[in-house]
Structure 1
Amino acid sequence: MYEIIVQNLLSPVVLFFVLGVFAALVKSDLKFPAGLTEALSIYLLVAIGIKGGMQLSQYEISAVIKPILGALFLGVLIPILILIALRFTKLDLHNSIGLAATYGSVSIVTYGAAISFLEKKGIAYEGFMNVLVVLMESPAILVSLLLLRLAEKSDFSQEGILMNKKEKAQILGFAHAGLLDKEVLRDSLFGKSILLLLGSLLIGWVVGQNAESLIKPLFIDLYGSILILFLLNMGLIAGERLPEVTKHGWKILLFGLCVPIIAGSIGVLVGSWVGLSLGGVMLMGVLAGSASYIAAPAALRSSVPDANPSIYLGMSLGITFPFNLIAGIPLYFALAQFIQ
């Protein structure tokens, strides 16, 4: 385990991320142009999606049903567990919902770093794992926003209440209304990250291996190098967010470190249960243990405006993202090895 962590710490992607954090903390004038930041983000989304689609074309649908169900299960379970845990803190409802949606969704860059980790060690993984990235983006957002609608429109006490049939029918009605909220559906299903991932994945699935000669030079050969640039920029942003997170006390900091370990461990167990390989089990753990800072914050800005972005975005990008990059990925790999 120690050797794995050391090897990961000495990888270029982690070292450039640390360089970005250091630059932000010492208030360097190093900045990425906004246009370049957007371009790097789009590149990573398309690269992961199209490569996954090409690999998916080699599998029968029957081979991916159980992993898909496992991914959806995690997308629903994790935000519910997070909300239950946050009941024991003094965090208000809207910020709790923000954290549930953020930590229930996934970090596409953490996933990309995990792929680089596996490729460096020469460990194979299922090509359809990129499909699971897309599937796990939305459920947590939808579930969290639905729970917010329920909490706002019903008189739940801290201890919970017994409900008669009429009250249960009302809550089901609220749930139905929450799921049909056009803004919620649009932000959760057609946001930039999901649209690019799903669209490029479908394109890769349609063209299959026939387009490899066209795709490989840009989206496969250059992937690791461009990921380094993106993580340098992420280090700058994370370093700027760290002071905001520390204002909210040690409990919230502990949350940002404990949740990925617990959720990632559940993800590893689910990955093993659905029959994934060593690499696939590790990636399932990475997806479950990561936190979104693209799709979920975009949906929360319009759907839960009372949630403080410095909490859910600062936590995911300032605490959980560097933790996963440095220690989480090796930890999930060691857990996957132990279970397999």
Structure 2
Amino acid sequence: MTSFTDPAILFFVFGMLAGSLKSNLEIPQPISRFLSLYLLMTLGLKGGFALAQSGLTSDVVISLAAALGMACIVPLIGYGVLCRFLSGFDAAAIAATYGSVSAVTFITASQHLDNQGVAFGGHMAAAMALMESPAIVFAVVMANHVRRRINLNGNLTDASVGAHVTGNPPLSRILHEALTDGAQLLLLGAMLIGLLTGESGRAAMKPFSVDLFKGMLAFFLLDMGLLAARNMGQLKGQSPWLVVYAVLGPLVHAGLALLLAWLLGMAAGDAALLMVLSASASYIAVPAVIRHAIPEASPSLYFGMSLGLTFPFNILLGIPLYLHFAQKFLG
């Protein structure tokens, strides 16, 4: 329950309460965007500084390989489960959303580990960037497979769906958007700068990347609480299995990440962050790409599930739970 004594988490709870009460409290979009970019830049710098200190060790390589493995496993499992009660397009879109990662969840988890005095490698920020795109590639491939199957079966009865199929953006364009996303580039660029400047850079950026961080995170989580509360309504009238998946799916994904971390002998802090990444769901980058790549899918499903259910679950309960089990099994 230590999460509920953290001011940043309490601001998230407050934001959810204000949103549920339909308050007109809101964070202007430009400020929200600035906070997001600030947090990503800070995370990248911290990761770069840590990598400059530790170097490229076997532990770093193992962690990055584990992250890439989970980025492939999660969307594959998700699609296999979801296509049993959803259309192929919705299953692919949701699988991509849950196969990718939430940077804010990761940043919040990193702060939680700092608060608990749990050491973790700065390279886990690189792991987060590595896990961003594989699920998008998988979803685009599966959606194209569904389209071909529909064409072969001659079941295109809706002219609007036919228009989507014929006018769908090429895979190369989708991949370019996924791999050159501005937020991801900022994270990697900041990490490179931190790596190049090392300890002198850490000292110079301390007022920006350390002293301001907690307050900026609290402000951003307030905004996320408001958004989460206002997006829960998108799931009204949907299959109850979606609610089950939005909560149990992340737990299963985290459990698989813990098993992989145990097999690879990862440190508890790195394992906890791998669990967080595997359990999180994207609600910014992936929905933005999927909206154009798979227009047949319903945004209310993949966006409502990730932001309205999974994100609050991970922030309030998931992060301390994942850390508890990582410490229990990995010391």
Name the TM-score, length of structure 1 as normaliser: 0.88
Q: Equivalents in 2 of 1:192, 1:309: separation in Å? A: 22
1:237 paired with 2:212, answer no
8 Å Cα contact 2:63-2:270 kept in structure 1: no
1:116 paired with 2:111, answer yes
- Match of 1:61, SS state, is coil
Q: Which residue of 2 aligns with 1:290?
A: 280
Matches within 5 A, 1:250-329: 250-329=240-319
Q: Which residue of 1 aligns with 2:37?
A: 42
Cα deviation for residue 156 of structure 1 reads 11
**Matching residue's letter, 2:68:** L
Cα deviation for residue 62 of structure 1 reads 4.1
In structure 1, list runs of 5 or more residues that go unmatched. 1-5, 158-177
Cα deviation for residue 127 of structure 1 reads 1.6
Question: Mean alpha-carbon deviation: is it higher for 54-63 or for 91-100?
Answer: 54-63
Moved >4 Å (runs of 4+): 154-157
Q: Equivalents in 1 of 2:193, 2:237: separation in Å? A: 45
Distance 1:272 1:58, change over 3 A: farther
What is the root-mean-square deviation in Å for CA atoms of aligned residues? 1.9
Q: Equivalents in 1 of 2:15, 2:281: separation in Å? A: 20
**Matching residue's letter, 1:77:** I
1:55 paired with 2:45, answer no
1:99 paired with 2:94, answer yes
Q: Which residue of 2 aligns with 1:173?
A: none
Q: Which residue of 2 aligns with 1:151?
A: 146
Q: Which residue of 1 aligns with 2:203?
A: 213
Q: Equivalents in 2 of 1:134, 1:274: separation in Å? A: 21
Q: Which residue of 2 aligns with 1:338?
A: 328
Cα deviation for residue 8 of structure 1 reads 1.2
8 Å Cα contact 1:114-1:329 kept in structure 2: yes
Q: How many residues align?
A: 314
Q: Equivalents in 2 of 1:304, 1:199: separation in Å? A: 29
Give % identity: 36
Distance 1:317 1:75, change over 3 A: same
- Match of 1:137, SS state, is coil
Which whole-Å deviations, capped at 9, do the CAs of 1:248-292 have from their partners, x for residues lacking one?
A: 132111110011100011112222333321111111100000001
8 Å Cα contact 2:246-2:306 kept in structure 1: yes
Name the TM-score, length of structure 2 as normaliser: 0.90
Distance 1:215 1:272, change over 3 A: farther
Cα deviation for residue 72 of structure 1 reads 0.7
